[in-house]
Amino acid sequence: MRIDIVTIFPEFFSVLDVSLLGKARQSGLIDLEVHNLRDFTHDRHRTVDDTPYGGGAGMVMKPEPWGEALDSILGASTSSATEAPLLDETASPDETASPDETPLPELVEGADATPTVIFPSPAGEVFTQKLAREFAEHSHLVFACGRYEGIDQRVVDYAATRASVRLVSLGDYVLNGGEVASMAMIEAIGRLIPGMVGNPESLVEESHEDGLLEYPSYTKPAEWRGYEVPPVLLSGNHAAIAAWRREQQVERTRRIRPDLLP
Ligand code: JAH
């Protein structure tokens, strides 16, 4: 997977050199490049912001550096999104033919090289494990990290003519910019890329993959500072352990996240 990040704080992303993501990059599984938006300015102050048309508080990110950054990442204009929809090349000629009653050829997601530009934004759709799974199938993701009051809307409109565009929020709170949100998404997506986690079974069991919160975990020693490990976990009765864990999951979910229950 190819990941590009555009930001005025490229140094934020040095954390991606370590841990699981760092290994995935070293192994070539993830090809990640961080771009400094200021490298796409031409004035001596490397200006990326200006006052908002119509007035109001704060500053807005200027479109010109964003346009040049996106062009350098996506390749200067040979449009895909504005022109004919991409055909599923795996479909037989019979399936792609569109006589009266037959639906038009589908846009293929992940199977093609159409890049997806993600704008982290409190105004976006909420990032969930489902969205992480979807993005993990894409071959090229571009994270466009805004700052200040946001990016000139025309950048989003232009990006949509060159790529799939998604506005994505981590939840109902405001950060100072898209960088931390991008990192959270990259970590959630990166660990789902096939070949990432040592044990694939550890992926399906984790929180939210089955719509319930995780059960509590214990390790040695069996007694610590007077606290004991629930005896069922030492019983060797695997059916009883599985039942206890499920009950803990349901009880926790009912108490903390009842919105997740049917
Ligand atoms: C804030 C650009 N919900 C997470 C999130 C994502 C992005 C931003 N804030 C919160 C943000 C300022 C400028 C993006």
> Are the CB atoms for 22 and 16 separated by under 8 Å?
yes
Is there an atom of ligand 1 within 6 Å of 169 CB? Answer: yes
pLDDT tens-digit readout, 163-219:
999 999 999 999 999 999 999 999 999 999 988 765 454 555 455 568 999 999 999
In angstroms, the CA 133 to CA 118 distance is 15
Is there an atom of ligand 1 within 6 Å of 178 CB? Answer: yes
Q: How confident is the model at residue 121 (pLDDT cuts 50, 70, 90)?
A: very high
Is there an atom of ligand 1 within 6 Å of 80 CB? Answer: no
Pocket test for ligand 1, best of 118, 175, 180 (most atoms within 8 A of CB): 175
C-alpha 148 to ligand 1 mean position (Å): 9
Is there an atom of ligand 1 within 6 Å of 147 CB? Answer: yes
Q: Which of 28-42, 65-79, 123-137, 240-254 has the lowest mean pLDDT?
A: 65-79
Q: What is the 3-state secondary structure (H, E, C) of the chain?
A: CEEEEEECCHHHHHHHHCHHHHHHHHCCCCEEEEEEHHHHCCCCCCCCEECCCCCCCCCEECHHHHHHHHHHHHCCCCCCCCCCCCCCCCCCHHHHCCCCCCCCCCCCCCCCCCCEEEEEEEEEEECCHHHHHHHHCCCEEEEECCECCCECHHHHHHHCCCCEEEEEECCCCCCCECHHHHHHHHHHHHCCCCCCCCCCHHHHCCCCCCCCCCCCCCCCCCEECCEECCHHHHCCCHHHHHHHHHHHHHHHHHHHCHHHCC
Atom of ligand 1 nearest to the CA of 122: 3
The per-residue pLDDT for 194 is 82
Atom of ligand 1 nearest to the CA of 175: 9
The per-residue pLDDT for 105 is 35
The structure tokens listed for 238 are 């695997």
Is there an atom of ligand 1 within 6 Å of 124 CB? Answer: no
The per-residue pLDDT for 83 is 42
The per-residue pLDDT for 23 is 87
> Are the CB atoms for 252 and 260 separated by under 8 Å?
no
Is there an atom of ligand 1 within 6 Å of 150 CB? Answer: yes
In angstroms, the CA 97 to CA 194 distance is 34
The per-residue pLDDT for 182 is 98
Average pLDDT over residues 32-58: 98
Atom of ligand 1 nearest to the CA of 171: 3
In angstroms, the CA 23 to CA 32 distance is 12
Is there an atom of ligand 1 within 6 Å of 146 CB? Answer: yes
The per-residue pLDDT for 20 is 84
Pocket test for ligand 1, best of 121, 125, 147 (most atoms within 8 A of CB): 121
pLDDT tens-digit readout, 210-238:
899 999 999 999 999 999 999 999 999 99
The per-residue pLDDT for 210 is 83
Ligand 1 atom 1 nearest Cα: 177
Is there an atom of ligand 1 within 6 Å of 171 CB? Answer: yes
Is there an atom of ligand 1 within 6 Å of 243 CB? Answer: no
The per-residue pLDDT for 79 is 47
C-alpha 126 to ligand 1 mean position (Å): 12
The tally of CA atoms less than 13 A away on the side-chain side of residue 119 is: 25
Q: 113 or 164, which is more confident?
A: 164
The per-residue pLDDT for 195 is 81
C-alpha 178 to ligand 1 mean position (Å): 5
The per-residue pLDDT for 109 is 40
